[in-house]
Amino acid sequence: MDEALLRSLTPTVLGILVRRGADFAAAEDAVQDALVEAVRVWPADPPRDPKGWLVSRAWHRFLDATRAEAARRRREERPEAAPGPVSSVDDTLQLYFLCAHPSLTPSSAVALTLRAVGGLTTRQIARAYLVPEATMAQRISRAKRTVAGVRFDRPGDVATVLRVLYLVFNEGYSGDVDLAAEAIRLTRQLAAAIDHPEVAGLLALMLLHHARRAARTAPDGSLVPLASQDRSRWDVASITEGVELLQAALARDRLGEFQAQAAIAALHADALTAEETDWVQIVEWYDELARLTDSPIVRLNRAVAVGEADGPRAGLAALAELDPSLPRYPAVAAYLHERDGDLATASLLYVEAARTAANVAERDHLMRAAARLHAHRPG
């Protein structure tokens, strides 16, 4: 059975139910039921028209569920909306907007998107985020209640959708669901539904980062920094697709932060060796990105790029303008001091960086760097 096909039909089927007058929360439950049934029934008895099968089954589920007296009264008072001449592309898009609605917290928006648009089960989402299934179920039903009053026919803000997809991508690959791959699938589906340079930019960014995934971790699970990665292990097909998407997006001259981030990733992808990296252009893109986002994290990364383009002293000067309490500031400072030959300072900073690291792989990487320079530490 083709689970990818099944899941790609989720938003279309849900959209059709909502167009027929089902309220979003009930329709979403009905579609989940239909998906679960499909997984059970299809292998032995594959339908000729998978979408039609799902719509019919979900619709019946919905009717069964709303047969309760109160619900029936509600439906009688509100005649079913006739299915208008609306394409499934629009339905899909509306679903993305609804699931990323600004009234939702980021974690609720992520959970709702993965279920209602992605067609994942509550159990899969719970496992991916390492929380109990009951907790995830509550998070999703709260999210549904939050958006219950939102009209389904108004265009939303694509930027909120992109932020949600970016969060999913950055969650990485813990659990049995590959969230990075799922984020790419959902962004690709969004790009098919809406023509927007930032959507293309985000898809390009994801593909370019995903291309390096195999090279990013050593067999023992430790982090391999960009400069030391075996570039022959980068996925050329992903890079090619990412670069083409990015070029087409940039040609439209509506720059946004995801296109700028993708441009930086593309410049790394373009270098056959770490030494061939065009750091001068990367710094220019960081300048662009800083103008677009005004994010201190961007300025921190820019300091690293400046250090590569103009030497560690220039990088340290750029760093000096930033707030030392920024996350990863000590790691950047340590790296630049090491490049500058001040191994004693670098060693101490690596210790501090390891102490304040937010994730295990990074902490271990920094701890090894600190240990490597231990002999240079002032006695």
Partner 1 sequence: MAKYLLLKHYRGGPAPVVDVPMDQWTPEEISAHMQFMSDYAGRLEKSGEFVDGQALAPEGTFVRYDGEGRPPVTDGPFAETKDLIAGWFLIDVDSYERALELAGELSAAPGPGGKPLHEWLEVRPLLTVPSPTVTE
Helix (H) or strand (E) holding 145: helix 133-146
Q: At what angle do helices 24-41 and 50-65 cross, to 10 degrees?
A: 130
Q: Which is nearer to partner 1, 9 or 111 (CB)?
A: 111
Integer angstrom CA distances of residue 197 from 158, 194, 250 = 11, 9, 7
Q: Which residues does residue 217 pair with via DSSP β-bridges, in sequence order? A: 223
Residues binding partner 1 (CB under 8 A):
105-108, 110-111, 129-132, 134-136, 138-140, 142, 166-167, 169-174, 180, 205, 209-210, 212-213, 216, 223, 225-226, 261, 265, 297, 357-363
Nearest CB to partner 1, comparing residues 130 and 272: 130
- Closest approach, Cβ 368 to partner 1, in A, equals 15
Q: How far apart are CA 246 and CA 50, in angstroms?
A: 34
Q: What angle do CA 11, 191, 29 make, to 5 degrees?
A: 15
Helices (H), 294-328: 296-310, 312-320
Please, which residue, 138 or 160, has the CB nearer to partner 1?
138
Nearest approach, Cβ of residue 139 and partner 1 (Å) = 3
| Cα–Cα distance, 104 to 144 (Å, whole number) | 9
Considering beta carbons, is residue 20 or 231 the nearer one to partner 1? 231
Give me the least distance between CB of 376 and partner 1, in Å please: 25
Smallest gap from Cβ 105 to partner 1, in A, equals: 5
Q: Residue 379: CB partners within 8 Å, gap ≥ 6?
A: none
- Select 187 or 345, whichever has its Cβ closest to partner 1: 187
Instruction: Please say which residue, 325 or 341, places its beta carbon nearer to partner 1.
Output: 325
Q: How far is the CB of 268 from partner 1 (least distance, A)?
A: 9
In the complex, what is the shortest distance from the CB of residue 223 to partner 1, in angstroms, rounded to a whole number?
7
- Are residues 171 and 107 in contact, defined by beta-carbon separation less than 8 angstroms? no
Q: Tell the smallest beta-carbon distance from residue 361 to partner 1 (Å).
A: 5
Paired with 223 in beta bridges are: 217
CB 177 within 8 A of CB 127: yes
Beta carbon nearer to partner 1, 17 or 190: 190
